[in-house]
Structure 1
Amino acid sequence: MGTVCDLEGRVQGQRGLYVLDGALIPGTTGACNPSMTIAAVAERAMDAIIAHDIDTLI
């Protein structure tokens, strides 16, 4: 995802567009159910988005 998104899921070159699903996790997650990991990554990203982006999108 490094060429498309940053660690908070911001899509490069698309203001206000975020990826906050399993696509944000690098590698494969075929060994187990990753739903809790995906939820944790999305929650972490939302904290950063709210803290840094909320005033720039309006």
Structure 2
Amino acid sequence: MELTKLVGSCDEGDCPTLYLTDRGTLAVQGVQVTEHDLRIPAHEILVEIPVELIRKAVRDNLI
């Protein structure tokens, strides 16, 4: 899968980031959320990102 960085919280790549995939989907890098009461399938994880990351992507017409 090829990923294109749309927007991130920093330049080092060690922070929440939003990517566009070559499949036409979005991939999100964030902090894994482990304390919740949801049933998440084994092949998925829940991640947390700042709301501002999405706002910036929309504001910059990236998504």
Instruction: Give the number of the structure whose residues are more often strand, by fraction.
Output: 2
Which bin holds the TM-score, normalised by the shorter protein? Answer: 0.3 to 0.5
Which has more helix, going by share of residues? 1
Higher relative contact order (CA 8 A, sep 6+): 1
